[in-house]
Structure 1
Amino acid sequence: MARDLGPAFERLKRAAAGLPEVEESTWYGTPALKVRGKGFCRVKDAETVVVMVALDEKEMLLQAAPDLYFETPHYRGWPAMLVRVHAIADDELAHRLRRAWLQKAPKALARQREG
C-alpha cells in the first residue's frame, strides 16, 4: 500500500506560495505544481519530490548536499533532481521551487515576477 503523498504535496504548495499562476495538477500520476501547464515540481513518493533544475546547478547541488539532493539512474542527464522533502529546510525548498518556476515559466511572466 502506497504511503500518503499529501504531506509532501502540502510542503510543495507552501513552498511555492506567492509564485504567480501556479496550478495544482498531476504529472506522471502524482500530485504536481505547474505554471501555465508546464510542470516544475512533483511528488515522487511520500519521502521524495522531483524538482526541475539546470544540469550544471544539479551537479553542484548533488555534490554539496547529498543528504538533501540525489538522483537515480532514471534521472541521470535529465534537468531534474530528487529532493528528500522532509529533510530540506523550508527556505531552501522555497528557493529551489522559485528557481524551478523561473526555468519553466514563460519568459514574459518570469520577467514580470523578477522585475
Structure 2
Amino acid sequence: MTFDDVRKFVLTWPEVEDGTSYGTPALKVRKKMLARLKEDGDSLVLPDVPTDERAMLVESRPMLFYFTDHYADYPMVLIRLSKAKRADVEPFLRRRWRILASKSARAQYDAGE
C-alpha cells in the first residue's frame, strides 16, 4: 500500500481533505489531522491510538506496527505502508474520522453505506 492508495479511499469520506503536517502530506477532517505520511515516505502516522492498544499492536505485529522514541509519550502508532493492506489501515482511519467528522457528515456517510 502507498499513501496514494490511502488517499483514494479516505477522500471519498465526507469532510476529508488533503493537507500537510510537519512538511509531509496529510489527510485532515475539519482542519484536524486524520493521518499523515512520516518523513520516511513509507510510514503512516496514526493518531488517537491509546498506548495500551499500541503496545498490543506492536507486540502482535511488529513488522507492521511500530513507534519511535519521539512518539513514546503520545497516543500514536506508525504503520509501515509497504507491509500493510487496506484492512490493516482502514479501521484506524475510520475510527479517527468518526471522532473528527461532524454529526451530519457521519449521518451522510452511514446513510450511503
Match of 2:90 among 87, 94, 115: 94
4+ aligned runs moved over 4 Å, structure 1: none
1:74 is the counterpart of 2:74: no
Q: What amino acid does structure 2 have at the position aligned with 1:70?
A: Y
Tell me by how many angstroms 1:91 deviates: 1.8
Match of 2:60 among 47, 61, 64: 64
Q: 8 Å contact 1:50–1:82 — kept in the other structure?
A: yes
Deviates more, 1:50-59 or 1:21-30: 50-59
Q: 8 Å contact 2:49–2:77 — kept in the other structure?
A: no
**How far, CA to CA, are the matches of 1:30 and 1:70 in structure 2?**
19
**How far, CA to CA, are the matches of 1:80 and 1:114 in structure 2?**
26
Identity %: 36
Match of 2:43 among 44, 48, 52: 48
Match of 1:35 among 26, 29, 36: 29
Tell me by how many angstroms 1:76 deviates: 0.7
Tell me by how many angstroms 1:18 deviates: 3.2
**How far, CA to CA, are the matches of 2:80 and 2:59 in structure 1?**
15
Report the TM-score, using the length of structure 2 for normalisation.
0.80
Report the TM-score, using the length of structure 1 for normalisation.
0.79
Q: Unaligned regions of 5+ residues in structure 2, if any?
A: none
Q: Deviations over 1:58-100 (max 9, x none)?
A: 2221222111110001001212111101101122212221122
Match of 1:22 among 16, 32, 36: 16
Partner of 1:10: 4
Superposed CA RMSD in Å reads 2.2
Q: 8 Å contact 2:27–2:35 — kept in the other structure?
A: yes
